[in-house]
Structure 1
Amino acid sequence: MGKLILSLFSGLLGFVFKGIVAKFFVFFALFYITTEFIPVVIVLFIPDNLIPDLNSLFGYLPSSMWYFLNLIEFPFGVSLFISALLARFIIRRLPIIG
């Protein structure tokens, strides 16, 4: 009975340390790379004159339009969309993921 319990715990601990902990560190590294290097990539590769001034562009919208855009969380959605596109671009070019 003791050998059975010991083999079960051995298998469980092997699964935890080989599967879960290793995957945690790999995915944490990928998450850190994509979230911390995206602003660096933007600064390095996109010149300042190509980045539009979104505040001045959105300043031309009437207040009634801003009400509905804020109601559907449009500013948050735009930043989320741009970050997702850049993260997808970077993740596809990582040699680990391919």
Structure 2
Amino acid sequence: MPAALFGILLSAFNSIIGLILRAATIKFVLFTVLYIAIREIVPLLQSSGILPGAEQASSLNNALLGIPSGVWYFLDLMNFPTGLRLVISAYVARFIVRRIPLIG
């Protein structure tokens, strides 16, 4: 009787280990750590002057000031300012991720 119980417990343990060590779980942990690292490293790079911060964004603001109000109406309908920020941050994140040897 105890040998059968040991087999059941061993089978349950193997199932739990298989679930934890599945590729999806490992990728989830890896990308979570990567997200946290990027979130902490980017402000450090901005404060050191390697990446442009908010004070360097004035040239982008000046470029957008030249757009006529009729065009801004349609850009506001499409929520262009938020979309532009998302696209730029996605390109920066892709650039950083591709420089990591194991992932990129």
Same fold (TM over 0.5): yes
Matched, 1:90 2:96: yes
Once residues 41 and 82 of structure 2 are traced to their aligned partners in structure 1, the CA distance between those partners, rounded to angstroms, is: 20
TM-score, normalised on structure 2?
A: 0.68
Once residues 42 and 89 of structure 1 are traced to their aligned partners in structure 2, the CA distance between those partners, rounded to angstroms, is: 16
2:34 corresponds in structure 1 to 30
CA displacement at 1:37 relative to structure 2: 2.5
Q: 5+ unaligned residues in a row in structure 1: which ranges?
A: none
Contact preservation (8 Å) 1:91, 1:97 = yes
Taking only aligned residues, the RMSD between alpha carbons, in angstroms, comes to 2.9
Name the CA shift for 1:7/1:65 in 2 (closer, same or farther; >3 Å): same
Once residues 70 and 60 of structure 2 are traced to their aligned partners in structure 1, the CA distance between those partners, rounded to angstroms, is: 18
Once residues 79 and 40 of structure 1 are traced to their aligned partners in structure 2, the CA distance between those partners, rounded to angstroms, is: 19
Matched length: 98
2:69 corresponds in structure 1 to 63
Aligned pair partner of 1:72 in 54, 75, 78: 78
Compare 37-46 and 24-33 and name the one that shifted more.
37-46
Q: 5+ unaligned residues in a row in structure 2: which ranges?
A: none
Q: Give the structure, 1 or 2, with the largest relative contact order (CA under 8 Å, sep 6 or more).
A: 1
Contact preservation (8 Å) 1:38, 1:87 = no
* Sequence identity percentage: 35
Largest Rg, 1 or 2? 2
CA displacement at 1:45 relative to structure 2: 1.9
Compare 43-52 and 78-87 and name the one that shifted more.
43-52
TM-score, normalised on structure 1?
A: 0.71
CA displacement at 1:13 relative to structure 2: 0.9
Letter in 2 for 1:14: I
- Which secondary structure state, in structure 2, belongs to the residue aligned with residue 45 of structure 1? coil
Name the CA shift for 1:3/1:78 in 2 (closer, same or farther; >3 Å): same
